[in-house]
Structure 1
Amino acid sequence: MQHGKYRFIVGFLAAPLALYALFVIWPFVQSIYYSFTDWTGLSPEFGMVGFDNYSRMLDDEVFWKSLQHSLTFAVVLPLVTVGLALFFAFMLNVGGRRRKGAAIAGVRGSSFYKIVYFFPQVLSIAIVALLFQFAYNPNSGAINSVLKGVGLGSVQPDWLGDPDLALICVMVVLVWSTVGFFVVLFSAGMASIPRDFYEAALLDGANRFTTFFKITLPLLWDTVQSGWIYMGILALGAESFAVVQIMTVGPSGGGPDYSTIVLPLYVYQKAFRDGQAAYATTIGVALLLLTLAFAAVVMKLGRRERLEF
């Protein structure tokens, strides 16, 4: 019976594992292989160049700028997004005033607020980027128009054209577009925490601040850690690429003066704009290592004893 059971498990997993290896693992292997070649991406012919692409990458000033910006995204965006989402979710589920028949409740209208926060998730990230590109327009954009309407006409920044502001503007868009997802995620986790815990804490004189750090956060830690990693991967991947390419200035985005260039966009530019596919895969390998390192660090720093209830 045991032998038959293991054979059944292997047979059941063989097809999914084969598909995963073919469509996920194999492209990574190919990318690493092509990073040691001079392949242009425009011709099937290429030759081996050893570590030349990696040496070039280490001497590439734009690569270091893109790495710096991607690291900024990986640190700042999860911190701000997860922090805001935890605050909103706590207020929507636990942080309201006591009501008749319910000692623990969210703020009034919490169901409506959840829909409002989640609304950006139904929009394509490309549409979000276009909307904010119009809003940031220094001449006719909504933001400068509001500033002018409240008497701050002298304060008219060139939001996406200012190297000191452009990166911040992009990060604001990424936070706005993703925080709603984590609000819903954390709300689902908080809904599973027994209300008796909060009621007992309130009877002992604990306030909302104490209940959050002593009850909610410890019991929700696994979800928070997963959300942190997921947000970091979004910040290092397609989300940042789409927003930066669409919103920012330059031949393929990333401007002004590479002030918003990130690693995914630089990979795209080298592969499809400059016809340097091998060098693009080299940068892609660096991005892969950065993503794995980020996930490993978050899991290491966030490791703690699992709490059950």
Structure 2
Amino acid sequence: MTMKRRRAVFIAACLLPGLLLFALFKIYPTVQVFHKSFYQWNGIGDKPVFIGLDNFVEMFQDDTFLLALRNTGFLMLIVPIVTIAIALINASILTRSKLKEKSLYRTVFFFPSILSFVVIAILWSFIYHPTIGFLNSGLEFIGLGEYAMSWLGDQRTVLWALAVTLIWQAAGYYMVMYMAGIDGISPDFYEAASLDGATRLQQFMYITVPMLWEIIRITIIFSINGVLSISFVVVSIMTAGGPDRHSEVALTYLYAQAFTNSNFGYAMAMALFIFVISMLLAFLSNRMTGKEAN
């Protein structure tokens, strides 16, 4: 056996276990979701019954699913925009300012990103608690007690409360990514802009943002898809879809259909639809932000 062939065999032997595990736990379940979405199946012993597109027809006639989809869309719109804006501003301030406590601020802002999603959901559940929560207690302390409310129990505020939780969790993570990018920008650009009379805001808009555009593109896609998955954990713990389904998101409703109602065929149809929507959003985000930085 030649040296080239031995090298190829060695590489194949190293890759094969990982490829087999990926096929078993990723590719095979994905194919099964596509297949079973056209069946009526309880997920246990009963034989799946082929029903064609009935699951998809039912899905678009299901008011609860449409509400969950609308709630998911709200979070996927609000959370990435606010998160990336806060992360960019904080990264620019901490990187370009002469604050002595920069290292402390970096640690404080990044800390939520290393916490478990379960811990974050429990923590914010206590913050929003209507009687012993920090938020209502703080409002009463500063004389604004008339604004205290059941933040997670009011249909008008529950989605905004969840959005704040998701933003708090993710902003520090993206801030660190932007800080690494800003550190790679030559100080000469900022010095030349200062000599030309550019303000800090103008330097941020015309130097920092364009130079970070490729990183921003990536984080937009990460943030959109991250909201889709993280919201499942946060909603399950903080509100369980309440009040009156007004915080239900697509994945929590999918989970309920599969593991509570034993309606696996219908749940897989929803999973297929959500998968297609996720790919479409990633494609659109990439196309819309695909212009080259100036």
With normalisation by structure 1, the TM-score equals 0.88
Q: Note the 1:202-213 alignment, pairs <5 A.
A: 202-213=194-205
Distance in structure 1 (CA, Å) of the matches to 2:181 and 2:21: 32
Across the two proteins, how many residue pairs are aligned to each other?
A: 291
Report what 1:124 is aligned to: 116
Answer whether contact 1:133 1:247 (CA < 8 A) is retained.
yes
Report what 2:43 is aligned to: 41
Identity value in percent: 34
What is the letter of the counterpart of residue 192 of structure 1? G
| Corresponding position: 1:256 with 2:243 | yes
Q: Note the 1:31-110 alignment, pairs <5 A.
A: 31-43=33-45, 45-94=47-96, 96=97, 106-110=98-102
With over 3 angstroms needed to count, the CA separation of the structure-2 counterparts of 1:35 and 1:115, relative to structure 1, is same
How far off its partner does 1:107 sit? 3.4
Answer whether contact 1:70 1:263 (CA < 8 A) is retained.
yes
| Corresponding position: 1:294 with 2:286 | no
With normalisation by structure 2, the TM-score equals 0.92
With over 3 angstroms needed to count, the CA separation of the structure-2 counterparts of 1:155 and 1:210, relative to structure 1, is closer
Distance in structure 2 (CA, Å) of the matches to 1:201 and 1:8: 56
| Corresponding position: 1:175 with 2:184 | no
Distance in structure 2 (CA, Å) of the matches to 1:114 and 1:18: 40
Please point out which of 241, 250, 254 is paired with 2:232: 241
What is the letter of the counterpart of residue 146 of structure 2? S
Distance in structure 2 (CA, Å) of the matches to 1:5 and 1:176: 51
Report what 1:272 is aligned to: 259
Answer whether contact 2:65 2:250 (CA < 8 A) is retained.
yes
Distance in structure 2 (CA, Å) of the matches to 1:256 and 1:173: 17
Answer whether contact 1:136 1:143 (CA < 8 A) is retained.
yes
Report what 1:230 is aligned to: 222
How far off its partner does 1:208 sit? 1.1
What is the letter of the counterpart of residue 52 of structure 2? G
Distance in structure 2 (CA, Å) of the matches to 1:163 and 1:272: 26
Which structure 2 segments of 5+ residues have no match? none
Partner SS, residue 121 of structure 2: helix
Partner SS, residue 45 of structure 2: coil
Report what 2:269 is aligned to: 282
Answer whether contact 2:178 2:215 (CA < 8 A) is retained.
yes
Report what 1:134 is aligned to: 126
How far off its partner does 1:70 sit? 1.1
Deviation larger for 211-220 or 175-184: 211-220
Answer whether contact 1:85 1:183 (CA < 8 A) is retained.
yes
With over 3 angstroms needed to count, the CA separation of the structure-2 counterparts of 1:161 and 1:278, relative to structure 1, is same
How far off its partner does 1:23 sit? 2.7
Distance in structure 2 (CA, Å) of the matches to 1:286 and 1:167: 23
With over 3 angstroms needed to count, the CA separation of the structure-2 counterparts of 1:218 and 1:5, relative to structure 1, is farther
With over 3 angstroms needed to count, the CA separation of the structure-2 counterparts of 1:152 and 1:286, relative to structure 1, is same
| Corresponding position: 1:216 with 2:212 | no
Distance in structure 2 (CA, Å) of the matches to 1:286 and 1:306: 33
Distance in structure 2 (CA, Å) of the matches to 1:50 and 1:211: 57
- Greater relative contact order (Cα < 8 A, sep 6+): 2
What is the letter of the counterpart of residue 299 of structure 1? N
Answer whether contact 2:68 2:248 (CA < 8 A) is retained.
yes
Deviation larger for 106-115 or 30-39: 106-115
What is the letter of the counterpart of residue 129 of structure 2? N
Distance in structure 2 (CA, Å) of the matches to 1:306 and 1:9: 42
Partner SS, residue 138 of structure 1: coil
| Corresponding position: 1:22 with 2:24 | yes
Distance in structure 2 (CA, Å) of the matches to 1:8 and 1:217: 46
Deviation larger for 135-144 or 170-179: 135-144
Distance in structure 2 (CA, Å) of the matches to 1:192 and 1:299: 23
With over 3 angstroms needed to count, the CA separation of the structure-2 counterparts of 1:30 and 1:93, relative to structure 1, is same
Deviation larger for 169-178 or 213-222: 213-222
How far off its partner does 1:275 sit? 1.1
With over 3 angstroms needed to count, the CA separation of the structure-2 counterparts of 1:221 and 1:132, relative to structure 1, is same
What is the letter of the counterpart of residue 240 of structure 1? S
Report what 1:149 is aligned to: 141
How far off its partner does 1:165 sit? 0.6
- The root-mean-square deviation of aligned C-alpha atoms, in Å, is 2.1
